[in-house]
Amino acid sequence: MKKQVFAGPLKGLAVIDKLVHEPARLLILGYLAAVDSADFVFLLTQCNLSRGNLSSHMTKLDAAGYVHVEKIFVDKIPRTVYRLTHAGRKAFKAYLAQMNRVLKQIDKI
């Protein structure tokens, strides 16, 4: 497989966190950055993903240490709650900062 080479104003894309950059995960992280915590159903509705798709993305974010997963019961009904970890918030902010730098470079063209 040929390695992508970025040049000029796009070279900043080479260091983008690919885990965060995936559109569904970026959306999920954006919602979690805006709230203290969110349950599975809230994220499912807001992100317009299937249950399996959301679950798959949350597994990847959890494995990376970007989200904390808590399984609780509310009135005997299971509920999965997610919170952005310090590492997740840091990764999200770093992603936004890097994308802003890239966009500013492109804007100069």
- Residue 71: inside a domain, yes or no? yes
Residue 103, pLDDT score: 86
**What is residue 11's predicted lDDT score, i.e. its pLDDT?**
76
Can you give the pTM of this predicted structure?
0.86
Q: How many domains does the chain have?
A: 1
Q: What is the pLDDT of residue 95?
A: 95
Inside any domain, residue 2: no
109 lies in a domain? Answer: no
| Containing structural domain, residue 23 | 8-104
User: In this structure, which amino acid lies at residue 86?
Assistant: H
pLDDT by residue, tens only, the chain of 109 residues: 566 666 676 777 788 899 999 999 999 999 999 999 999 999 999 999 999 999 999 999 999 999 999 999 989 999 999 999 999 999 999 999 999 988 888 777 6
pLDDT, residue 6, reads 61
Tell me how far apart the terminal alpha carbons of the chain are, to the nearest angstrom. 30
Please report whether residue 44 resides in a domain: yes
CATH number for the domain that contains residue 27:
1.10.10.10
The closest alpha carbon to 32, from 5, 4, 64, 67, belongs to 67
